């Protein structure tokens, strides 16, 4: 759906599409000003949808060269193209048919750098959030999961031809051209599609997973910059090992490629098996790079790799669920960085970033929930609230449940929803199922904008050895939310004596206190500790 029309899109208006596209086969004949894209789409009508319901595909900046259903070309009268859509009014009434679409695109003059573009001699794609519709007509939405097969044909002056998944056949063609084929066996949304073609250098390595599978690793960069990618390769291998050890997530393809180019309009993109980066987040010269440069490369390499499970294997049902992949994956890369470096120093840096960028956002005119309920343009919601506050919400969930239950919940999340496009409610439900907790109040962290304020005062009675702690929460109004509901705020605490050592206590009353955490659920709690 278009998001630049001035229309407001609302979470409550979400509806599944009438059709699914379980398989997508793409052939690219690359040329600077006239790349031909042939798409063979297996289209299935969803259960409950009336036979012959119109099929409405997204498409922008495309020249249509041909369209056919089950091998028969469609007459012009059978479809319409208007306002960013191609609509087939009366597709076949059967449950499944094959749609062939041939389009022409102009990568050289694609100044938006969305879809397929050519810059500095390298063909590259960027499809999140809605760039795939600039490549071919498609149901360009995150809940359309498809198995992709790709064939790339190009001049031999472009020796590197990459796409998602595992490599297949490759060879020479007539006229000084060659081809390469790729197949990704894991269903993915169109925003994760990727293609790169160019004359690039590379460094290569190998990683053996815990089950003994050998994965070929490649980092492709502009020629002459290969040696500056070695720290990124080391960070990638450490990320893969860490994800196996901490979250049980094993890599699933035979190859993992990174492409780092100077002409990429966002920091990095987690396309399945083919991450694309702006090279400033990959390249580092040991003679000139700072400690911060190395830390940033390590964190961003890890973040995009961790998306393989939290974002790719399990993806978002719709763009309102953006925090489901981004907040969760930021949490994971924060934990990785803490394990690779000083946990305390890393945490201080993370909180400083939160306070410098997200707190002002929450207190300003553009305050919005971690999961927004409406938008005009989805690209405006790649914010500190979605990423950084989204990460902190996951951290609080771990605090509430404890490390053991949190890991069990993540294990169930991966098992239950692998290969699906899901919601925040699906995510929270797995933790309710493994723990027995009611997380409905905690879910307000996803639904309400604003930063809660917590005040605490203490008093001590030496005669009775009782410590009284009064805690109160409040939250200022934000635009569109003048009245706030009470949050579930987990407060990790400790009692510290004059000598700096931990003080034990007997009992605690006035709130739920367990495993070093006070659970603040009401506006005000008076917690009394005895035996202090």
The answer to whether 240 and 305 have CB atoms below 8 angstroms apart is yes
The answer to whether 137 and 143 have CB atoms below 8 angstroms apart is no
Phi then psi for 279, rounded to 5 degrees? -70, -10
Q: Exposure of 528 by Cβ count < 10 A (0-12 exposed, 13-18 middle, 19+ buried)?
A: middle
Q: Exposure of 364 by Cβ count < 10 A (0-12 exposed, 13-18 middle, 19+ buried)?
A: exposed
**Which H or E run includes 10?**
strand 9-10
Token couple for 483: 């009245």
Q: Is 287 labeled as catalytic in the residue annotation?
A: no
State the alpha helices, DSSP H only, in 210-353: 230-247, 291-306, 322-340, 343-353
Token couple for 269: 């993109």
User: Quick count: other Cβ atoms within 10 Å of Cβ 153?
Assistant: 19
Task: Please name the residue that has the structure tokens 């305050």.
Answer: 367
Catalytic residue among 130, 222, 304, 388: 304
Q: Is residue 291 helix, strand or coil? A: helix
The answer to whether 454 and 520 have CB atoms below 8 angstroms apart is yes
The answer to whether 474 and 453 have CB atoms below 8 angstroms apart is yes
Token couple for 193: 């599609």
Q: Across-strand partners of 69?
A: 72, 99
DSSP string for 35-75: EEEEEEEEEEEPTTSPTT--EEEE--S-EEEEEEETTEEPP
User: Quick count: other Cβ atoms within 10 Å of Cβ 346?
Assistant: 19
**Active-site residue list:** 304
């Amino acid at each position: 759906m278009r998001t630049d029309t001035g229309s407001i899109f609302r979470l409550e208006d979400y509806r599944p599409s009438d059709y699914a596209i379980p398989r997508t086969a793409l052939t690219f004949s690359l040329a600077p000003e006239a790349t031909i894209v042939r798409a063979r789409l297996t289209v299935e009508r969803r259960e409950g949808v009336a036979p012959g319901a119109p099929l409405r595909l997204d498409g922008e900046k495309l020249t249509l060269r041909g369209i056919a259903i089950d091998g028969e070309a469609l007459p012009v009268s059978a479809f319409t193209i208007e306002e960013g859509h191609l609509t087939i009014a009366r597709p076949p009434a059967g449950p499944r048919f094959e749609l062939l679409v041939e389009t022409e695109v102009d990568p050289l003059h694609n100044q938006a750098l969305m879809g397929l573009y050519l810059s500095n001699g390298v063909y590259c794609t960027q499809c999140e959030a809605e760039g795939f519709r600039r490549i071919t007509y498609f149901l360009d939405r995150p809940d359309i999961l498809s198995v992709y097969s790709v064939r790339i044909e190009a001049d031999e002056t472009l020796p590197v031809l990459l796409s998602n998944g595992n490599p297949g056949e490759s060879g020479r063609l007539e006229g000084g051209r060659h081809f390469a084929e790729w197949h990704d066996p894991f269903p993915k949304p169109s925003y994760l599609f990727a293609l790169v073609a160019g004359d690039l250098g590379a460094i290569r390595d190998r990683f053996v997973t815990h089950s003994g599978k050998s994965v070929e690793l490649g980092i492709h960069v502009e020629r002459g910059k290969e040696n500056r990618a070695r720290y990124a390769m080391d960070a990638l291998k450490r990320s893969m090992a860490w994800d196996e050890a901490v979250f049980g997530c094993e890599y699933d393809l035979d190859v993992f490629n990174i492409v780092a180019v100077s002409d990429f309009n966002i920091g990095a993109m987690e396309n399945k098996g083919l991450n694309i980066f702006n090279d400033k987040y990959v390249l580092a010269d040991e003679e000139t790079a700072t400690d911060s440069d190395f830390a940033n490369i390590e964190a961003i390499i890890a973040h995009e790799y961790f998306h393989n499970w939290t974002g790719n294997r399990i993806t978002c049902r719709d763009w309102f669920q953006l925090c489901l992949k981004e907040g969760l994956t930021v949490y994971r890369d924060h934990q990785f960085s803490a394990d690779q470096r000083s946990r305390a120093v890393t945490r201080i840096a993370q909180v400083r970033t939160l306070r410098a960028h997200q707190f002002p956002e929450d207190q300003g005119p553009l305050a919005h929930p971690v999961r927004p309920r409406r938008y005009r343009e989805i690209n405006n919601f790649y914010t500190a609230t979605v990423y950084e506050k989204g990460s902190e919400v996951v951290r609080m969930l771990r605090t509430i449940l404890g490390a053991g239950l949190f890991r069990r919940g993540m294990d169930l999340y991966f098992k239950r929803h692998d290969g699906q496009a899901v919601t925040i409610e699906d995510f929270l439900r797995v933790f309710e199922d493994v723990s027995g907790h009611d997380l409905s109040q905690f879910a307000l962290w996803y639904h309400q904008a604003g930063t809660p304020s917590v005040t605490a005062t203490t008093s001590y009675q030496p005669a009775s050895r009782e410590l009284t702690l009064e805690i109160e929460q409040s939250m200022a109004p934000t635009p569109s939310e003048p009245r706030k509901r009470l949050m579930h705020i987990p407060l990790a605490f400790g009692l510290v004596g004059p000598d700096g050592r931990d003080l034990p206590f007997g009992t605690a009353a006035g709130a739920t206190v367990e495993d070093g955490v006070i659970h603040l659920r009401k506006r005000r709690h008076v917690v009394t500790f005895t035996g202090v």
